[in-house]
Chain A
Amino acid sequence: KAGVTQTPRYLIKTRGQQVTLSCSPISGHRSVSWYQQTPGQGLQFLFEYFSETQRNKGNFPGRFSGRQFSNSRSEMNVSTLELGDSALYLCASSWGRGGTEAFFGQGTRLTVV
């Protein structure tokens, strides 16, 4: 069974640009959550999608957005990139909403210069 797949693995962008990250969950999983990991703040929750709807959102500015498609694949978009957006972006998939094991992808390392 394939795991959670995130693409691309690495990205370098310039301040002010926008970026789209992709996450394909484990087959059969319907919930996808996104996290930002930085050395200073650790893992912080961005948002969760289930059945193509955003169900929960963390404390990030509106520049961070996402969506989920009918096949449960999810994308995350960051607009007007800032240097502080440099981080490892991880997505996790789980079978249902809450109370079930969440499995992480390898992450996308975003560097903003």
Chain B
Amino acid sequence: AQKVTQAQTEISVVEKEDVTLDCVYETRDTTYYLFWYKQPPSGELVFLIRRNSFDEQNEISGRYSWNFQKSTSSFNFTITASQVVDSAVYFCALSEAGPRSGGYQKVTFGIGTKLQVIP
């Protein structure tokens, strides 16, 4: 069974600090996809990034970076020089590429990490 653990339920940082959100996953599949989503106070989850299990290259997008390490089953998300607009709940998610149920490949979400950036 697939599982996603986000051990940090809430984090508070002061603006301009760097912050890392942890994500640890469990899966028996060798092919899978990992995702990060952002849920701002408005409520709508927004897709940030997808990474497949064969691509361990780290990714950087502006102030955001992602560190995927298969050896530790982790897919951590770092925000550099945090800003108030980064305040949100962040979800890590896992989708396996194995046999589907009906027309859908199940996605498992972590419980989310609430990030508060204090001005």
Q: Does B associate with A?
A: no
Residues of B within 8 A of A (CB): none
Spell out A's residues near B (CB within 8 Å): none
